[in-house]
Structures are given as structure tokens and as C-alpha cells.
Amino acid sequence: MAKADTVFSGSIPALYDKYLGPLIFEPYAEDLAQRLSTLDAARVLEAAAGTGIVTRALLHALPGSVAIVATDLNQPMVDHAAAQVSSGRVTWQKADAQSLPFPDSVFDAVVCQFGVMFFPDKRQAYREARRVLKPGGRFIFNVWDKLEYIHRNPVEATLAETPEAWLWSSAAHYAHAGPVSVPIDPIDLPPDRRAWLHAPWVSL
């Protein structure tokens, strides 16, 4: 993963956060945060935190007593995310989701937005998530489904290269990590966020 890790450097984290965040990542981050807010979690681990879009949503949705450890494999992403958040509730750390640097059974929940499909060894990553979770803890993550009308927009076509099969393969891999219940809830972008996907593509 080291070679791919070097891609997200320079100005990329800031551009990623400024342009992709509001368009396609924030709505799903808010959804994840709301799902987590229904749990009695005192300590939360975020894997593949990227530029901190989910982290910020968690800070807004969760009680002030909840501590968040936000991790990502890419140090420039972590650095950018940390610069956007001034809260003692969040600890930022570079970490590989396949080899988490934490003891067993220390988190009430693990959350990951659009990251699990990129783990080279998904079963190992899921084993790690289970390992650091306390008994009865929850692992909440989302992945891309298929996108339609990909012939109209190159950005949409690129996103659609993450097939809906990832959703089912992720659930299967997680089940192999141990006896678990894996509920799957399809969610969609709000109508006001979907319009850009179907807009004609132009050169800037």
C-alpha cells in the first residue's frame, strides 16, 4: 500500500476536501454519524479518515463525552484533517487498518467511510476491527453501489468503477472474520446532491 499511499500528497488533500467533500462525501458522513449517535459509544475509532469529513460529522452528532481516534494510512491526509479540527476530543494518528496499533477490546465502535473496498486484505482488516472492538461493539462502514448513466459524465464513470459487488463481498469477508450479524442498508444521495452527477461534463 506504500506506493498508492504517496498519491494523496501536495495539494490533493485540500482539493479533495474542498470539492469532493461537499458534493459526494458529506451526506454519507452525516448518515454514518447519525447511525453512530444511536449507540452508547464512549470511544470511537475511525479508519481511513481521509481529510476528516466523517470526523467532523461525528463531532457534531456525538455527545461531548465521546472520544474519537481518527486514523488514515496517508500522513498528508491526516495532517490536513487535523488542521481543520480544533477539538481535544479527537486524536489523530497514521495507521494501517490491516494492522491497527491498538490493544484488544478498547473501542465501542469502529467507523469507516468508503475505505473498506480499498483494503488489499479485507478479511485481515475486518479481523483487526473485531479485535479492537469491545464485546458488543459495532463496526459501521459504507461502500459505493453502482451509478447509472455513466456514459454522460467521466467523473461518474470513474466512481462507477467501484462495483456494487464490493458491498456483498465486504459483507462476506467480514462474516469470515468471526460470527457476526451484517445488516445492509442501501442509502442514496439527497436529490439536491445528485444533480451534479447527471450534468454534462465540460473541460475546465
Residue 122 in this model has a pLDDT that exceeds 80? yes
Residue 133 in this model has a pLDDT that exceeds 80? yes
Q: What is the pLDDT of residue 15?
A: 65
Q: What is the pLDDT of residue 159?
A: 45
In terms of C-beta density within 10 A (0-12 exposed, 13-18 middle, 19 or more buried), how is residue 142 classed? buried
Instruction: Return the minimum-mean-pLDDT range out of 39-43, 76-80, 91-95.
Output: 76-80
The domain defined by 2-145+163-188 carries CATH number 3.10.20.600: no
User: 189 or 27: whose pLDDT is higher?
Assistant: 27
pLDDT level of residue 158 (50, 70, 90 thresholds): very low
Residue 120 in this model has a pLDDT that exceeds 70? yes
3-state SS, the chain, equals CHHHHCCCCCCHHHHHHHHHHHHHHHHHHHHHHHHHHCCCCCEEEEECCCCCHHHHHHHHHCCCCCEEEEEECCHHHHHHHHHHCCCCCEEEEECECCECCCCCCCEEEEEEECCHHHCCCHHHHHHHHHHHEEEEEEEEEECCCCCCCHHHCHHHHHHHCCCCHHHHHHHHHHHHCCCCCCCCCCCCCCHHHHHHHHCCCCCC
Averaged pLDDT for residues 171-194: 58
Q: Would the pTM count as exceeding 0.95?
A: no
- Helix axis angle for 53-61 and 26-37, nearest 10°, is 40
